[in-house]
Structure 1
Amino acid sequence: RRDGCRWKLETASGTRYLTIDFQRVVSYDPSVSDDDRAQAAYEKKATAAHIPAATGSPSASSSTRTEGGASSGSGSSSPSGSGSAAAGETGKGDKGSKDSKDNKSGKNDTGGKGDKKPGTPSTDAGASGGSDQTDTAPQDTAPRRLDDLGDDAFLDDQLITKDSGIHRDITLVFRSSNVIATIEYDQWTTDTKRIPSSQELQENAQDLADELTGRLNE
């Protein structure tokens, strides 16, 4: 049982698309609850997106992402994950060099991992043209599990470059009881010198998810 909607917004930075999809999962098996069926469906989505398994999950070792720059064994559900520590260690080398100081910022490239379905961008937040930045972002913007949304949640971030332009696709999926909500927030641009900001798009998607979880819990 599904429903959803989509918006398009033209900004100085490019075109943004926001798509919201709601799926209400119903189990017709008396031995399986609606919530359990919804959790299984949610985990399939997380696995398909190569999101690291939650800490303590039996499938942590098999589901952990091993590509695209994410850690291959931490299985951490923390937004910063082990990548933050690694970024900090980068800044400790070559104490006398200017480069080592610059590396202390912990920023990293969250470049694209392949094509995906055109997606989704923002509500009125971030409609200004100042969001585009270089393609660098802190480690805590990497694809990851989220601890503070609904019963389960994950966020995926992909930067995709093509001859026709650049787009960053943010996908946030959360489960609240037997309802699975998917937020897709994308920004497209033909200006290859202005990479859509990962951090801003993620923050906008998470703000919307916070509001939706509150509505679902009412």
Structure 2
Amino acid sequence: MRHKAYVPGVALLAALVVGCSADGGDDANGADGKPGGPVVSPAPPGRYLTLPAPCRAVPRPLLKDLLPGAAELPGDQQEKVFRGSAAVTYDTDRKVGCSWKADAPSATRSLAIDFERVVSYDPAVSDDDRADAVYGKKKDAAGLSSPSAPQADVATATGAPADGGGGEEKGGAADPSPSTSTGDASDGAPASGGPEDALPSRVLDNLGDAAFLQDLPKGPGSTAQNHTVSVVFRTSNVVVTVRYAEQPALITQRPDGRELQEKAQALARKLAETLSE
């Protein structure tokens, strides 16, 4: 009887020792006790954790150049124009913006900038990839992502010979007239032609990780000679939009589309440099 009572006790003690050893091994090695389970590496976060103060993002000398009418205002009114108006937002860590407007005898110039910091809550999708999707939607809305859309014939738009091989074309001669063509011209404006003969909407090079320009002259049948240029670019997980517009005082006047494009691009590049600092 004693022998029979002793054996179960030894077996029970051995089982307890084995169990404790197994638990201690898991703790020491950091294992989860589920061999063969998938190991998920979270996607890397974006570079930017905060956004700049939008109404202080544009240097004063640049604002004076973009809003020439402000220089003609009295000191207190001039200061109010340059101070700008912050956009209403409920999460300044994610989206901020500012706008300015100045009236001059010849025309009214307006400027607006927006910063959007994109965060992915999917561990399998990086912040940069999510921001690229946000940028892609804006590009689609501008009509620049359709593979069937014609490219801008930069050579024709700049007055260069069309057969010189300087511009890229797809499927034969390109039509420079649509404002939503997808040319790859990066900067610059036509070297000849009237002031309204700006290059059409297009993808831009050497600006952030991806960028495009949307040129929006007055709509068909409109008596107002307003002209708006938007530059949108992405750098890491931040998407920036610059909108620059001119409304002449007289309907007989036409805005200088080339100047608007050049200044909007110059501001966008300055903002990209500031973000990278």
> Which letter maps to 2:197?
T
User: Contact 2:95/2:117 (CA < 8 Å) preserved in 1?
Assistant: yes
User: Contact 2:177/2:200 (CA < 8 Å) preserved in 1?
Assistant: no
| 194-203 or 157-166: bigger deviation | 157-166
Structure 2 counterpart of 1:82, from 150, 153, 174: 153
- Whether 1:39 aligns to 2:132 is yes
Residue 145 of structure 1 aligns with which residue? 203
> How many residues were matched structurally?
159
- Whether 1:186 aligns to 2:232 is no
Bigger RCO of structures 1 and 2 (CA < 8 A, at least 6 apart): 1
Distance 1:182 1:47 in 2: 15
- Which runs of no fewer than 5 residues in structure 2 stay unpaired? 1-93, 165-175, 181-193
> Which letter maps to 1:14?
A
Shift of 1:83: 3.9
Shift of 1:165: 2.0
Distance 1:210 1:34 in 2: 22
Structure 1 residues 158 and 4, CA gap change in structure 2 (3 angstroms): same
> Which letter maps to 1:143?
S
Distance 1:33 1:188 in 2: 41
Distance 1:200 1:216 in 2: 24
User: Contact 1:164/1:190 (CA < 8 Å) preserved in 2?
Assistant: no
Residue 135 of structure 1 aligns with which residue? 196
Corresponding residue SS for 1:182:
strand
- Which runs of no fewer than 5 residues in structure 1 stay unpaired? 54-62, 67-71, 75-80, 93-107, 113-132
Q: Mark the structure with the bigger radius of gyration.
A: 2
Residue 4 of structure 1 aligns with which residue? 97
Normalized per residue, the structure richer in strand is: 1
Shift of 1:193: 2.0
Normalized per residue, the structure richer in helix is: 2
Distance 1:212 1:134 in 2: 26
User: Contact 1:170/1:202 (CA < 8 Å) preserved in 2?
Assistant: yes
Instruction: State the Cα RMSD in Å.
Output: 2.8
User: Contact 2:224/2:247 (CA < 8 Å) preserved in 1?
Assistant: yes
What is the 5 A alignment of 1:93-112? none
> Which letter maps to 2:205?
D
Residue 80 of structure 2 aligns with which residue? none
- TM-score, structure 1 normalization: 0.64
Shift of 1:192: 2.1
User: Contact 2:230/2:243 (CA < 8 Å) preserved in 1?
Assistant: yes
- TM-score, structure 2 normalization: 0.51
Shift of 1:194: 1.3
Same amino acid, percent of matched pairs? 41
Shift of 1:135: 3.1
Shift of 1:39: 0.3
Distance 2:100 2:113 in 1: 9
Corresponding residue SS for 1:21:
strand
User: Contact 1:50/1:64 (CA < 8 Å) preserved in 2?
Assistant: no
